[in-house]
Amino acid sequence: MQNFDYQTPTRLLFGKGVIEQLPEVLGAIGKTVLLAYGGGSIKKTGLYDKVLSLLEGFTVVELPGIQPNPKYDPSVLDGVRLCKERGVDVILSVGGGSVLDCSKAIAAGAKYDGDPWDLITYKVKAKAALPIVDILTLAATGSEYDCGGVISRTETNDKIGYIDELLFPVCSFLDPTYTFTVSKKQTAAGCADAMNHIMEQYFCEDSTLLNDGFCEAGFRSLMINTKRCLENPSDYTARAEMMFACTLGCNGIYALGNSPSGWPLHGIEHALSAYYDITHGEGLAIVTPRWMKHVLSDRTVDRFVKYGVNVFGVDPALPKFEIAEQAIERTYAFFEEIGIPMHLRDVGIDESRIDEMARHVAENEGLENAWVPLFEADIAKILRDSL
């Protein structure tokens, strides 16, 4: 078991109606609030009106229009400018992972005199950040319980995971009823994203029985509950369990004591969504079974056997490689069953930029240090196999 250093300062308020505590939580921080949100789903669902009614007495500065795969320009830059000009005390992020990730970059940028890109690219370490409170409307990324945000810069095809311990939200409001309106496509993509977060912590060299069981329960819970959410979008118990499993996905808790995996699936997917602006969870689901096939070997087979037997109930009496192959096939079949397009061509990606993306990943994602090291040729092969 590896040493670890773990602290998550975020307060989680989970369940129906927790939003009523919003004025009290924000009031303890400050009076001028940057209300950050996306393309309008919160207006359609009525959450926007509810939030404004709770913010009576606060000064509200709005930052609307944050897109999926949030963009540095204009959203981060606009948000930083508004915070500085209007003396914002706290950012209230209402939406999915994209709104929250954008809010994190804004929080750091607002307390920095130079170009916020210096912070996102780690040229400069932030000394301070504005506090963030969020109301999550989509179960997927785990951004509500971690200190990372992923920011895209269109002109350079960069999609960078910006991590800094100053960026943990102060408080996350997690009311599963706000996810009832999430589309089937985004529900499935959210499940694939969260399952991948667990895979990136499960598929590693050194782990514990405790963690393996925790991860395996996470996979099973996500698979069962996502299907229930797709059948009945207003199934509170299913939405709640899905939200809880997603929230734990990215803050390291599934991997405490494990050796690092290098997060190869995310390293590869970030290029796909940077170059083609696709939905993150779909890109991950497409790449996953091809990556699994690529890294399956005498050295890794036991890990896939454990995954196959404990997550999918594959017969442990079968030969090892047969169990592993079945585990990979069942992973593919599950993603397909929940409606995810399983080829890059299905999401508008063809052969033309595969080599360029593979080079970008090899140069920027450090996957030569992954559980199974991946170099440019490996990445290109995985991407071609995914076409």
Which positions touch Zn ion (CB under 5 A)? 193
HSE, CB side, 13 Å, CA atoms: give it for residue 366: 7
Which amino acid type is present at position 345?
Answer: R
Q: C-beta of 193: minimal distance to ligand NZQ in Å?
A: 6
Q: C-beta of 38: minimal distance to ligand NZQ in Å?
A: 2
- Which H helix or E strand runs over 385? helix 376-385
What are the residues whose beta carbons fall under 8 Å from the beta carbon of 155, sequence distance 6 or more? none
Q: C-beta of 95: minimal distance to ligand NZQ in Å?
A: 5
Angle at 138 between CA 77 and CA 364, to 5 degrees: 50
Are 370 and 261 spatial neighbours (Cβ–Cβ below 8 Å)? yes
For the chain, the helix, strand and coil percentages under 3-state DSSP, each to the nearest 5: 55, 10, 35
DSSP 203: S
Q: C-beta of 250: minimal distance to ligand NZQ in Å?
A: 4
Q: C-beta of 153: minimal distance to ligand NZQ in Å?
A: 12
Q: C-beta of 266: minimal distance to Zn ion in Å?
A: 6
| CB nearer to Zn ion: pick between 164 and 193 | 193
| CB nearer to Zn ion: pick between 51 and 360 | 360
Q: C-beta of 316: minimal distance to ligand NZQ in Å?
A: 32
| CB nearer to ligand NZQ: pick between 59 and 234 | 234
What are the residues whose beta carbons fall under 8 Å from the beta carbon of 292, sequence distance 6 or more? 304, 327, 328, 331
Residues that bind ligand NZQ (CB under 6 A): 38-42, 45, 68-69, 95-99, 101, 137-138, 140-143, 146, 148-150, 178-179, 181-182, 186, 190, 193, 250, 266, 280
Residue 133 interacts with which of Zn ion, ligand NZQ, none, CB < 5 to 8 Å by class? none
| CB nearer to ligand NZQ: pick between 204 and 324 | 204
- Least Cα distance to 319 among 334, 330, 331, 304 occurs for 304
Q: C-beta of 287: minimal distance to Zn ion in Å?
A: 11
| Cis before 74? omega within 30 | yes
| CB nearer to Zn ion: pick between 158 and 193 | 193
Q: C-beta of 190: minimal distance to Zn ion in Å?
A: 10
The alpha-carbon radius of gyration of the chain (Å, integer) is 20
| CB nearer to Zn ion: pick between 72 and 263 | 263
Residue 169 interacts with which of ligand NZQ, Zn ion, none, CB < 5 to 8 Å by class? none
| CB nearer to ligand NZQ: pick between 42 and 309 | 42
Q: Could you give the C-alpha distances from 31 to 130, 132, 219, in angstroms and in order?
A: 13, 13, 41
Are 194 and 338 spatial neighbours (Cβ–Cβ below 8 Å)? no
SS3 readout for 38-96: CCCHHHHHCHHHHHHHHCCCCEEEEECCCCCCCEHHHHHHHHHHHHHHHCCCEEEEEEC
| CB nearer to Zn ion: pick between 54 and 174 | 174
Q: C-beta of 266: minimal distance to ligand NZQ in Å?
A: 6
Residue 367 interacts with which of ligand NZQ, Zn ion, none, CB < 5 to 8 Å by class? none
CA–CA dist 235, 174 (Å, integer): 16
Q: Which residue is nearest to Zn ion (CB)?
A: 193
| CB nearer to Zn ion: pick between 193 and 378 | 193
Are 251 and 146 spatial neighbours (Cβ–Cβ below 8 Å)? yes
Residue 202 interacts with which of Zn ion, ligand NZQ, none, CB < 5 to 8 Å by class? none
Task: Give the neighbor-by-neighbor strand order of the sheet with 11-14.
Answer: 11-14, 171-174, 132-136, 90-95, 32-37, 59-63
- Least Cα distance to 258 among 317, 299, 210 occurs for 210
Residue 79 interacts with which of ligand NZQ, Zn ion, none, CB < 5 to 8 Å by class? none
Residue 131 interacts with which of Zn ion, ligand NZQ, none, CB < 5 to 8 Å by class? none
DSSP 158: E
Residue 146 interacts with which of Zn ion, ligand NZQ, none, CB < 5 to 8 Å by class? ligand NZQ
Residue 142 interacts with which of Zn ion, ligand NZQ, none, CB < 5 to 8 Å by class? ligand NZQ
| CB nearer to ligand NZQ: pick between 69 and 207 | 69
Residue 225 interacts with which of Zn ion, ligand NZQ, none, CB < 5 to 8 Å by class? none
